[in-house]
């Protein structure tokens, strides 16, 4: 590398300053802390909003309702005002981020908006037993903000909140964890999220949002299919659906060189097959231990080999 830099510098392809900078990077004197800073910002926003929520829940009587309402509302308005001032406005395509804080200020504004809605419901019981509709209002608001401000963090928040609304709405009808109704709704939601991302991409609308749709949608879809493998009546159909969806995820991973989707396919597939096999066979404790030792070792070896192939292809 040093010889190549010397040749480029002597050939006047690189200036002395450029070559010196590349030598420092190659010698690891300079390194990027971009993702570390983003993680710290994201963690700080979550801690701040969690602390605010706990403060509201514990001390709202002593602080005063109007004071809390005004403080949260002003903080939320300040965040959105900052984003409106510094953002580039709506566009069908991706927009460059104005500064490092922009995405996280918008995320903070959205979370403060959710805190404000929760406080209003806690204090004034505006929707009473229909409080779960606040989740739908929040999800649609976040979705609008994500598309207007071109923010994938808020898009993730919007889709997960929409899924939470669907889950809460189903549970209020008396559905248990992963029973038929909730499982079917999860299948519908996962497929809808994936389809929405595909349609958006097809129409040339926010193409860079597709990975967010796929990561969430594929995980929800595969998890719901795994949950349906255990019952003897529906198990074979759900296992077939799991293998089909997993194959689609693996094919997408190979086409787009995205190891995460291959990992989803393998792990969920392994979990589903294991549940199916153990629910329909009589296994001794020794046989079960042997199965997990052999299958887990084989799975780990295959994943390491596949990851190396993906790395080498890049």
3-state secondary structure of 98: coil
* pLDDT < 70: residue spans in the chain: 1-9, 11-13, 19, 21-36, 38, 42, 56-57, 59-64, 172-179, 312-314
Q: What is the pLDDT of residues 5-50, one digit of tens each?
A: 666 667 666 777 776 766 666 666 555 555 567 677 767 777 877 7
What is d(CA 314, CA 308) in angstroms, rounded to the nearest whole number? 10
**HSE of 125, CA atoms in CB hemisphere, 13 A:** 2
pLDDT of residue 96: 85
pLDDT of residue 148: 93
Do 226 and 268 touch, CB atoms closer than 8 A? yes
Do 257 and 314 touch, CB atoms closer than 8 A? yes
Do 193 and 220 touch, CB atoms closer than 8 A? yes
SS3 content of the chain, % helix, strand, coil (to 5): 80, 0, 20
What is d(CA 62, CA 168) in angstroms, rounded to the nearest whole number? 31
Distances (CA, A) of 310 to 20, 26, 237: 32, 24, 32
What is d(CA 269, CA 226) in angstroms, rounded to the nearest whole number? 8
Closest CA to 264 of 220, 314, 201: 220
Of the chain, the end-to-end C-alpha distance in Å amounts to 19
């Amino acid at each position: 590398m040093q010889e190549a830099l010397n040749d480029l510098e002597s050939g006047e392809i690189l200036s002395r300053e450029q070559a010196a900078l590349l030598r420092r990077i190659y010698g690891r004197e300079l390194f990027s802390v971009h993702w570390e800073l983003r993680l710290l910002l994201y963690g700080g926003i979550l801690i701040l909003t969690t602390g605010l929520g706990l403060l509201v829940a514990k001390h709202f009587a002593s602080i005063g309702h109007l004071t809390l309402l005004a403080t949260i509302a002003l903080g939320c308005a300040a965040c959105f005002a900052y984003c409106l001032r510094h953002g580039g406005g709506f566009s069908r395509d991706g927009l460059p981020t104005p500064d490092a804080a922009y995405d996280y200020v918008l995320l903070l504004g959205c979370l403060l908006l959710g805190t404000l809605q929760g406080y209003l419901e806690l204090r004034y019981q505006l929707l009473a037993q229909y409080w779960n509709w606040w989740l739908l209002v929040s999800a649609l608001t976040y979705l609008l903000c994500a598309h207007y401000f071109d923010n994938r963090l808020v898009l993730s928040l919007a889709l997960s909140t929409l899924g939470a609304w669907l889950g809460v709405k189903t549970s209020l009808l008396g559905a248990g964890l992963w029973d038929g109704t909730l499982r079917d709704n999860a299948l519908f939601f996962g497929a809808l999220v994936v389809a929405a991302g595909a349609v958006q991409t097809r129409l040339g609308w926010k193409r860079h949002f597709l990975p967010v749709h796929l990561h969430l949608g594929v995980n929800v879809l595969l998890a719901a299919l795994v949950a349906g493998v255990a019952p003897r009546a529906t198990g074979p159909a759900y296992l077939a659906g799991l293998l089909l969806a997993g194959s689609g995820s693996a094919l997408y991973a190979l086409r787009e060189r995205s190891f995460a989707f291959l990992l989803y396919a393998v792990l969920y597939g392994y979990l589903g097959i294991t549940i199916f096999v153990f629910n329909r066979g009589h296994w001794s404790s020794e046989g079960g231990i042997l199965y997990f030792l052999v299958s887990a070792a084989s799975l780990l070896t295959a994943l390491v080999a596949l990851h190396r192939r993906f790395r080498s292809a890049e």
